[in-house]
Structure formats: C-alpha cells, structure tokens
Amino acid sequence: MTAACPRPRGLALWWQAMRPRTLSLAAAPVLCGGALALHAGQPVAGLVWLLTLACAVLIQAGTNLFNDAADAGGSDGPERIGPLRVTAAGWVSAHAVRRAALGCFAVAFVGGIYLVIVGGWPIFVIGLASLAAGWAYSDGPRPLSHTAWGEVWVLAFFGLAAVAGSQALQGLAPGYPALLVGLALGSMGAAVLLVNNVRDQAADQLAGRRTLAAALGDRCARRLYAGLILAPFPLLVMLGGVLGDVQQLWPAGLAAPPCLALATRFQRLPVGPAMNGHLAHTAQAQLLLGLLLTLALLA
C-alpha cells in the first residue's frame, strides 16, 4: 500500500505529477543523437539540440500526466504499491491533469514547428507519431499500457526514433550507429517500464491488463529485465567497430558494473515498495550510460 504523504503545493505538485525520475529517459537519446552527429564531423546547432531536448522531455511529461489521469480510474486503488499518483490521491482532478498533459503536448508541438522547418517531413512524421503514441499509451479504446506492447513502444520512441531524429536534426542522415545507440538506450528504457509492470502485475491482472510482465510470468520477466539492461554493452562494442575505434567508447563501459548489479538484484527483489527505488535506479543507469556515451563521442 502506498504510504500517506503530505500534499505538495503549486509547482511542486505538478512536478511530482510529471514523474521527474523518468524524464531522463527522453533526454539521454537526444544527447547521444547530437553527439553522434558531432562525432561524424557535422557542425552541431546548439539551439536545435536544446529545443529537441525540451520537446522530448515535454512529450515524456505529457505522457506521464495522461497516464496519471487514466490510471486513477483503473488499477490505482488504495492498495497500490507504486509511488502515489496525484489524481488517485484526490489532489487534482483527472480533467485538470489531462489539461496539463495537453499543455505539455501543445508547447512541444509549437517548438516542433521550428524543428520541422529545420529537419523537414521526417521530423514531422516522428514528432506527430510521438505525440499520438504518448496519448495512446494511456488513453483511447485500447491503451498500449494495457497490452504487452508497452516495452516495444518505449524501445521505438525513447530509443530508435529519439536518437535517429536528433541526429537527423543536426543534418546527418541516420545510419547503423544511430540504430545501435537507439537500441542500447531504448532497451534500458524498456527495462524501466518492465520493473513497473513486474511490480504491478497482480493489480494489472485484476484490472484486466495484459502487460508483458503478466504475459511472461514473474521469472521470465525478471530474466528479460537482465537482458534489457545488459544489452547496451555488446551493442556498444559493435558501435565501436562501426566507428572504427572501440577504445574510444570505453567511458561508456563504466556503466556496466551498476547495470550488472541492478540485473542481479532484481532477480531476487520481492514485489513491493522496494521496486520503486529499483525503477528509479534503472532510469539513473540509463542516464549515466547516455552521459558517458555522449562524453565518449565528443572526446
């Protein structure tokens, strides 16, 4: 059961509703996409890079807000194990949270207009698909969060599309390096969602949700988590081969020990509030990998 906690006020309440611990999932791929372009000798437009980062984080925040509002009418009851949600707690109405989500999407859309001018129709397609997917994850007739496709959605949008789109906005056509980096960061993002779904699988099944964790079962889902969080490292070895310098990427390997520790710990971690911290640590590991890889590519 989620412990009672005092109601935050003003911006602090909305900051909590946006789930700041997961916003880095949108930031890391954008950083690495720009770094890939710079590594390839492409002059990087700082303003475009920052605007891409802002739009990606806003879409992630809006997606989280839609999820908060939608879950209040689903499985987020008083026995919820996960972190408290502002709508379910009665702090803000679902209508107000959805308006805030639409506000995040609207600001991202306005910023995206400039990015479309810079990057052309591929960026328009990626941006529009990202907004639609952010809404469809929790709303609509068959929300993605109710199915076994959630982790695939994260891999696609918070990995492949984010890295490729960020690189394209810097004037470099996406190629094999963007694919490898997108898979590396996207797999860790999917691992974050998988922790969430393993934690909530009992409540999800009662609510009629068939997430990947529920479909696989607890043991297989935990093994898949280990595979997802460790997958980046062979992918980075492959990236080094493609770039012609495996040794240059060694700083990114510093993220391997904490990822291995997380993979090992999760195999025996009991379902309960401790998984909230594990989810946050997995998101931090993805950010660490993204920052180290960015630094390695810029060196």
Q: Would you say residue 291 lies in a domain?
A: yes
pLDDT at residue 74, rounded to an integer: 53
pLDDT at residue 216, rounded to an integer: 93
CB 298 within 8 A of CB 42: no
Q: Would you say residue 130 lies in a domain?
A: yes
List Cβ neighbours of 123 (8 Å cut-off, separation of 6 or more): 112, 115, 116, 165, 168, 169
Q: Would you say residue 5 lies in a domain?
A: no
Counting as low any pLDDT under 50, the low residues of the chain are 1-3
pLDDT at residue 5, rounded to an integer: 62
Q: Would you say residue 272 lies in a domain?
A: yes
pLDDT tens for 193-250 read 999 999 988 888 887 788 999 999 999 999 999 999 999 999 999 999 999 888 889 9
pLDDT at residue 247, rounded to an integer: 87
Euclidean distance between CA atoms 39 and 281, whole angstroms: 29
pLDDT at residue 208, rounded to an integer: 77
Q: Would you say residue 2 lies in a domain?
A: no
CATH number for the domain harbouring residue 136: 1.10.600
**pTM of the complete model:** 0.91
Which domain range does residue 227 map to? 10-298
pLDDT at residue 272, rounded to an integer: 87
How many distinct structural domains can be found in the chain? Answer: 1
Q: Would you say residue 228 lies in a domain?
A: yes
DSSP 230-266: HTHHHHHHHHHHHHT-TGGGGGGGGGHHHHHHHHHHH
Q: Would you say residue 285 lies in a domain?
A: yes
CB 70 within 8 A of CB 17: no
Q: Would you say residue 90 lies in a domain?
A: yes
pLDDT at residue 70, rounded to an integer: 86
Q: Is the dihedral of CA 15, 19, 20, 23 positive or negative?
A: negative
